[in-house]
A and B are shown apart, each in its own frame.
Chain A
Amino acid sequence: GQSLEQPSEVTAVEGAIVQINCTYQTSGFYGLSWYQQHDGGAPTFLSYNALDGLEETGRFSSFLSRSDSYGYLLLQELQMKDSASYFCAVRVLYSGAGSYQLTFGKGTKLSVIP
């Protein structure tokens, strides 16, 4: 099976930088995705890392180290609207079906304070 660990809650100040970590234990690992979900809303895709290194998309960056089974999401210049839950999800091979699917972590609730 798969297991993912990420902090349940993080609080940061508006304008600051915050890092949300994700460690995973899984077989058939293919990549790591990040999603944002506002309360009661739909998750939205943020980024995906299949290879080691840093991917940057505007204020958001995502990092992966396959050898350490670890990744993180970095949010810069925090804004109040960034208050949301952030989920890491490993893309793994479903051996029975021969397809790759996502297994989600429990999410990190980020609160941005003035």
Chain B
Amino acid sequence: DGGITQSPKYLFRKEGQNVTLSCEQNLNHDAMYWYRQDPGQGLRLIYYSQIVNDFQKGDIAEGYSVSREKKESFPLTVTSAQKNPTAFYLCASSIDLGKSHEQYFGPGTRLTVT
């Protein structure tokens, strides 16, 4: 079955540590996205990528970094510079940026930083 996987489902880190969230898709989609969701809030775009070795900042990129070395993979690193990293992180993909209105989401990673 095609889909998006994110691991782990729950992640705990100490303040000051960098942490990398995994996102893998086997849908053969070109475009991939990272969102952050806080309680009672909508999704906010962190980064997106339309093709391998290319990515763009979203609305809240500060304190985050990404890479896109393979079409299937789009890992997100939450750095110690991110002031409020505790959140639910969602990875998504679409066929390409032209189909960005129809995104497929992974199950998410809930990150807690103390």
Residues of A within 8 A of B (CB): 4, 8, 30-31, 33, 40-45, 48, 50, 87, 89, 91, 94, 97, 99-107
Please give the distance in Å from B44's CB to the nearest CB on chain A: 7
Please give, as numbers and ranges, the residues of chain A lying within 8 Å of B45 by CB-CB distance. 101-103
Residue of B56, B58, B100, B104 touching A100 (CB-CB under 8 A): B100
Those of B6-60 within 8 Å (CB) of chain A: 40-45, 48, 50, 56, 58-59
Please give the distance in Å from B36's CB to the nearest CB on chain A: 11
**1/0 per residue B85-114: CB within 8 Å of A?**
000001010000110111111111000000
Task: Name the residue in B40, B48, B102, B106 with the highest tally of chain A Cβ atoms < 10 Å from its Cβ.
Answer: B102
Residue of A4, A42, A99, A102 touching B107 (CB-CB under 8 A): A42
